[in-house]
Amino acid sequence: MHHFHYREGELCAEEVPLRELAERHGTPLFVYSHATLVRHVRRYQSAFRTAGQGALIAFSVKANPNLAIVRALANEGAGADVVSLGELERALAAGVPAGRIVFAGVGKRPDELRRGLEVGILQFNVEVEGELDHLEAIAKELGRPAPIALRVNPDVTPQTHDYIRTGGKVNKFGIPWERARAVYARAVASPHLEPVGLACHIGSQILTLEPFRIALERIAGLVRELRADGLPVSRLDVGGGLGVRYRDEVPPSLEDYADTVVAALKGLGCELICEPGRVIMANAGILLTRVLYRKETEQKRFLIVDQGMNDLSRPALYGAYHEVIAVREGVGLMEADVVGPICETGDFLSRGGQVPDVAAGELLCAMSAGAYGRSMSSNYNTRARAGEVLVRGAEAFLVQEREELSDLWAREIVPGFLSEVAPPASTAAVGGDPESPAAPPASVD
């Protein structure tokens, strides 16, 4: 469910017409619905309470790191799942208590580990044995034990895009299943580490519950084995990955998902952490774009818009689908590709489908762009990244200014030698007779 709908012939975010936002802030423009994202996190929390097991909802910051988004979710009691020092600092700046922050990721640097330990985060999800060495050294130096959960690879491969599968043996994520007991025992034996439990995340945009059930039942079995070894396990991080509707997908409900998780872990008595990102943010945001030109060839019809793959990379990166609708209600459809201005054939928003039959100058909207939209955007082709607006009822708040072009090279440095005046090029050097021999070097006495 989302709060983007037509009112009096115009598409609105909650009670604010998107046309007004385009006029005020320009396009392309990301627009988020506060009511939608808050509803999603509350429903997530409620689903687990109803299933009989409360859970900390640690929002996956990589899905949308905007400070206003992270703050809005923190105000609802959510924590943060971070995978870099930048995301950790963002979460802290947004007001997430350090005790609700989980630091995940397969390649944490020593300085990132140090900062997490200094501020007192809830736990590090350790995915590489060598990370324990760094954590031990830093924890010993700081005089405080490092809380860790071992992220285990359960060798479960869900049916989703290859690039977002993370739970198989061929993936880089997690401690191999065969090594989990030994690595956990090693961590327990260290006076500088505080193992609190296990973590598991098998992928993203998963549309059936069976992979979750299989993976978590394996994790539950491992918990029992560890406890039989006399090792403490008090917390389980079950990751995220539940899919959303982009086109005609029918993902499981949050209630059914929570029931599956709780049933798989029944009787363990562990605290639960969830790391949703997409399921909270995707349908809470849209990307607003303006049609620049209509173009027709013998084979194709195109709508050329002002958003490009630098703004929304998912179609180019994953072949992902985003529904494209008109901001003006009642527009007919036509078969056309919606493409951007980037110098790549892969720069498309929609292709080979039915899209609004609108004229140049009209506004279109890419739905379900709240997750991995602005967070994956870039400055390719030296294009300024889009602004972001958060709507709450009848009010709209600019939460990310559009970049100025001068911002894009403000930190670049031209070495002094390049500022020296170069001598004029010789005729031969710029297009003289290619058969003419080059002038001999001057003699040196």
Active site residues: 343
Main-chain dihedrals φ then ψ at residue 7, nearest 5 degrees: -135, 120
H or E stretch covering 163? none
Q: Give the residue among 355, 272, 296 at the shortest CA–CA distance from 321.
A: 355
Measured CA to CA, the distance from residue 13 to residue 3 in angstroms comes to 6
Main-chain dihedrals φ then ψ at residue 263, nearest 5 degrees: -65, -40
What does 380-416 look like in DSSP terms, one character per residue?
TTT-PPPEEEEEETTEEEEEEPPPPGGGGGTT----G
Token digits for 217? 């039942």
Q: What is the 3-state secondary structure (H, E, C) of 204-255?
A: CCECCCHHHHHHHHHHHHHHHHHHHCCCCCCEEECCCCECCCCCCCCCCCHH
AA letter at 355: V
Give the β-pairing of 363-366 and 324-326. Answer: antiparallel
Measured CA to CA, the distance from residue 149 to residue 125 in angstroms comes to 5
DSSP state of 151: E
Measured CA to CA, the distance from residue 117 to residue 147 in angstroms comes to 8
AA letter at 401: E
**Omega of the bond leading into 28 within 30 degrees of 0 (cis):** yes
Give the β-pairing of 10-13 and 16-17. Answer: antiparallel
Measure the CA angle with vertex 242, ends 239 and 248; round to 5°: 165
Paired residues of 348 in beta bridges = 339
Hey, what's the torsion of the CAs at 241, 246, 250, 251, to 10 degrees? 10
Calculate Rg over the CA atoms of the chain: 26
* Total residues belonging to the chain: 445
Place of tokens 């290859």: 162
AA letter at 5: H
Burial class, 93, CB count within 10 angstroms (exposed 0-12 / middle 13-18 / buried 19+): exposed
